[in-house]
Structure 1
């Protein structure tokens, strides 16, 4: 939207510069007479009162706008009302590109923006525009996870917990951590890092995130910290583990 506004401003300024560039040259010479407004060669002199500044601007801009084709105005959304009627209808999915994006989100819940652009084969600006339209109409919702904006259908299908689980399972390392904890019932950080094949600090970062989301909980046994899956998320993990396309 900001790009379109910038384009419109530049476009308007360029149009306004055309009359100035084509103006006829003229020379201003001082009057021979000392009396202001006196004729030089016997011509008739008529004083003209200056027009208000707002009228000057109106007369400067209005002819340019009326000379522009209506199609140009509607294509750059200078007429938002017409664009609104055109886009925001109940048959919003009649647009093939928008329908394609909607269907992909339905088949891949939790898909994030860059992945969507790459997988669907449309330009970034096109995808961004249609996502904005559908989210404005509450057809889809977004969920931010670790800096990534993920998209879901908005039919009360996905609660906050569902979105949290799906977002976690979409991340390869998070998924591996969850699987190992599920298979082991409970496990220490050192053993978890060894089984997954990453360093202990790396595991610590992922565990920190999963704890923050409430998926993983910790218990202390002696001098060891044991990780396990929170019971509130156990059923949801089982539900989405095999159905989520990563």
Structure 2
């Protein structure tokens, strides 16, 4: 973008070049008249065209070339001003951190993420009513402006307010609480830390392979620990994850059945 300073320098250069072209050094300032030659005057044989090297140009020639080269840029500030005013009239303006939430859809998306940390793309689109294509754009803008952060998983992406208040373990806890089967499993283990795998199978109506799958995911992410007792396994919530379960479980328990079910 042309700055005000560069614009003034370009204008000054053009004026200087113009003055050189109309007032060449050594010219007779008194002026002179040019008249057509009388009929029948021998004008001579045209000379062969000769290429003149750049370094042999006169100062006046160089000034004219520079003026012609710079002249299109003299109108750029006016053109840019007109374009910016037109875009502003149509509702377009440069996005900054100070106005990123002025867009109603983007503000609704951000506040939903703020109130439902760990939510995913499908849930945001459903709960805010923003179409998937528009949602992708607004999420990209919010991420670029450092308003939201993301946790990539093997199945989807989870979104959080980028306030620095969500450490990795908290993000992982929130991710699992958005899945109703895993949330129920964590609640059972939290309230009954000595439950065996068989007891969990009966309580959840899930096969032993399904319980193992959930437990290994939770264990790999540091949410719970698996203790072997002979042929049996016992499960307990890790101390680092427990405060976040106590903080968020009541909130998720109060959600309608259509929310937090994945």
Corresponding residue for residue 111 of structure 2: 103
Corresponding residue for residue 232 of structure 2: 224
Gaps in structure 1 of 5+ consecutive residues: 1-69, 75-82
Corresponding residue for residue 131 of structure 1: 139
Tell me the distance in 2 between the aligned counterparts of 1:213 and 1:163: 10
Corresponding residue for residue 149 of structure 1: 157
Corresponding residue for residue 197 of structure 1: 205
Corresponding residue for residue 71 of structure 2: none
Tell me the distance in 1 between the aligned counterparts of 2:105 and 2:230: 58
Q: Quick check: 2:100–2:145 contact (8 Å CA) kept in 1?
A: no
Q: Quick check: 2:198–2:208 contact (8 Å CA) kept in 1?
A: yes
Q: Quick check: 2:227–2:234 contact (8 Å CA) kept in 1?
A: yes
SS in 2 for 1:93: coil
SS in 1 for 2:98: coil
Corresponding residue for residue 184 of structure 1: 192
Tell me the distance in 2 between the aligned counterparts of 1:122 and 1:233: 33
1:43-63: CA deviation from partner (whole Å, max 9, x where unpaired): xxxxxxxxxxxxxxxxxxxxx
Tell me the distance in 1 between the aligned counterparts of 2:136 and 2:174: 22
1:77-113: CA deviation from partner (whole Å, max 9, x where unpaired): xxxxxx8x61235211111111111111111111100
Count how many residue pairs are aligned between Structure 1 and Structure 2. Answer: 167
Name the Cα RMSD after superposition: 2.1
Corresponding residue for residue 243 of structure 2: 235
Give 1:121's match in structure 2, choosing from 118, 125, 129: 129
SS in 2 for 1:226: strand
Tell me by how many angstroms 1:223 deviates. Answer: 2.1
Structure whose CA Rg is larger: 2
Corresponding residue for residue 206 of structure 1: 214
Tell me by how many angstroms 1:165 deviates. Answer: 0.6
The TM-score normalised by the length of structure 1 is 0.63
Corresponding residue for residue 171 of structure 1: 179
Gaps in structure 2 of 5+ consecutive residues: 1-79, 85-91
SS in 2 for 1:187: coil
Tell me by how many angstroms 1:146 deviates. Answer: 4.0
Tell me the distance in 2 between the aligned counterparts of 1:89 and 1:137: 6
Tell me the distance in 1 between the aligned counterparts of 2:160 and 2:142: 11
SS in 2 for 1:87: coil
Tell me the distance in 2 between the aligned counterparts of 1:185 and 1:210: 15
Tell me the distance in 1 between the aligned counterparts of 2:97 and 2:174: 31
Q: Quick check: 1:145–1:167 contact (8 Å CA) kept in 2?
A: no
Tell me the distance in 2 between the aligned counterparts of 1:186 and 1:146: 30
